[in-house]
Amino acid sequence: MKATSPTAPGAPGPTAHRAPSTRDAGEALLRVAHRVEGLLSELAGEHGLTAFQARTLRALHDVSSQGALARQLGCTASRISVVTRELEERGLVRKISSISDRRMRMARPTPEGTRVVEAIGAGLTARSPLSALPEDRITALYHLMAEVEAVPET
């Protein structure tokens, strides 16, 4: 009997006689990403945010320039500008002058923004399907995803 993907009945998938293909791996990655994105949307919604706003707020803990945020989040700098303005209006970020160039304004999370990020992160940790994996598998997965992410686009 042929093995199939757990979420696509009847779809071709790896069998006892065939290793998973690149397509099989990509489809599995998309299914997991969809689950995690859905969970993020739910948790962000509990704080009145979209998943993208939550991702932006989280990224602001590491990066503050609009260009760097846009690259990290895979969007335009103008979208980052709109989202950071929305977060600022909600009191989750504040704009500060750059130390190196006073003309530049950078967004930084407020204490409330940090609290929201921590609450969403705790929810993700508690409910993510990735939390079922042992630490060594999480480490291996992280390194594998970093390797895949580093492959240049064609």
Q: Is 103 inside a domain boundary?
A: yes
Please give the pLDDT value at position 14. Answer: 67
Q: Is 36 inside a domain boundary?
A: no
CATH at residue 112: 1.10.10.10
The answer to whether residue 40 scores a pLDDT higher than 60 is yes
Please give the pLDDT value at position 93. Answer: 96
Query: Mean pLDDT in the chain?
Result: 88
pLDDT class for 105, splitting at 50, 70, 90?
confident
| Interval 117-131 mean pLDDT | 96
Q: What is the pTM of this model?
A: 0.79
Q: Is 56 inside a domain boundary?
A: yes
State the residue range of the domain holding 97: 45-142
| Interval 74-98 mean pLDDT | 92
The answer to whether residue 51 scores a pLDDT higher than 50 is yes
Residue type, 74: G
- Non-local (6+) Cβ contacts of 10 within 8 A are 4
The answer to whether residue 23 scores a pLDDT higher than 90 is yes
Q: Is 33 inside a domain boundary?
A: no
Q: Is 2 inside a domain boundary?
A: no
Q: Is 39 inside a domain boundary?
A: no
Q: What is the DSSP string of 54-107?
A: HHHHHHTTT--SHHHHHHHHTS-HHHHHHHHHHHHHTTSEEEEE-SS-TT-EEE
Q: Is 98 inside a domain boundary?
A: yes
| Interval 14-19 mean pLDDT | 74
Q: Is 94 inside a domain boundary?
A: yes
The residue among 16, 26, 69, 46 whose CA lies nearest residue 121 is 46
Are 84 and 56 contacting, i.e. CB atoms less than 8 angstroms apart?
yes
Q: Is 128 helix (H, G, I), strand (E, B) or coil?
A: coil
Residue linked to tokens 């990403």: 33
- Number of domains present in the structure of the chain: 1
Cα–Cα separations (whole angstroms), residue 127 to 39, 116, 135, 148: 8, 16, 16, 25
| Interval 85-96 mean pLDDT | 94
pLDDT class for 6, splitting at 50, 70, 90?
low
The two structure tokens encoding residue 95: 């704009």
Please give the pLDDT value at position 96. Answer: 82
The answer to whether residue 94 scores a pLDDT higher than 60 is yes
The answer to whether residue 5 scores a pLDDT higher than 60 is no
The answer to whether residue 18 scores a pLDDT higher than 90 is no
